[in-house]
């Protein structure tokens, strides 16, 4: 009987392993998870963003603009070690710091920047899009 308890405990512990956020983003519950900045439900599958801090806490956003302004205005001391963003064309998760950003998209909070794994034309880097959003009057 003791062996059976240990087996059950081991199975439960294996099932509780944390997501390896360096390889894939955390699970996003569409239409239920709320944006950390604007508190709207995240529902657009081509503009969602997830950021992970040093302690492994995950912050979810509905638009790259919400991430940028949240980090600047509400959490400037939070060190983000990983940023995941949805590719605006394919909807796949990509590395937010390596993405090509282009203006002209209809995004959930109207910041207008979409991330692309591969750009076709002029691209802004992550740092350039951060500066552009910080200059917006909001």
Per-residue pLDDT in tens (0 to 9) along the chain, 138 residues:
566 565 544 544 444 445 566 678 999 999 999 999 999 999 999 999 999 999 999 999 999 999 999 999 999 999 999 999 999 999 999 999 999 999 999 999 999 999 999 877 789 999 999 999 999 866
pTM, to two decimals: 0.83
Q: What are phi and psi of 83, to 5 degrees?
A: -130, 125
Provide the residue ranges of all domains of the chain, joining segments of one domain with +.
28-135
Give the separation between CA 12 and CA 103, rounded to whole angstroms: 46
Question: Exposure pattern of 49-80 as b/e (b: 16+ CB <10 Å)?
Answer: bbbbeeeeebbbbbbbbbbbbbbeeeeeeeeb
């Amino acid at each position: 009987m003791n062996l059976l308890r240990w087996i059950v405990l081991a199975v439960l512990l294996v099932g509780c392993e944390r997501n390896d956020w360096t390889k894939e983003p955390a699970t996003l519950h569409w239409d239920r998870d709320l944006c950390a900045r604007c508190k709207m439900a995240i529902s657009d599958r081509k503009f969602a963003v997830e950021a992970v801090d040093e302690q492994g806490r995950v912050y979810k956003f509905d638009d790259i603009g919400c991430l940028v302004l949240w980090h600047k205005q509400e959490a400037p001391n939070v060190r983000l070690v990983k940023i995941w963003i949805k590719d605006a064309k394919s909807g796949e998760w990509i590395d937010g710091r390596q993405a090509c950003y282009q203006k002209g998209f209809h995004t959930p909070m109207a910041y207008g920047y979409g991330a692309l794994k591969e750009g076709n034309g002029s691209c802004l880097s992550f740092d350039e899009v951060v500066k552009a959003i910080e200059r917006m009057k909001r």
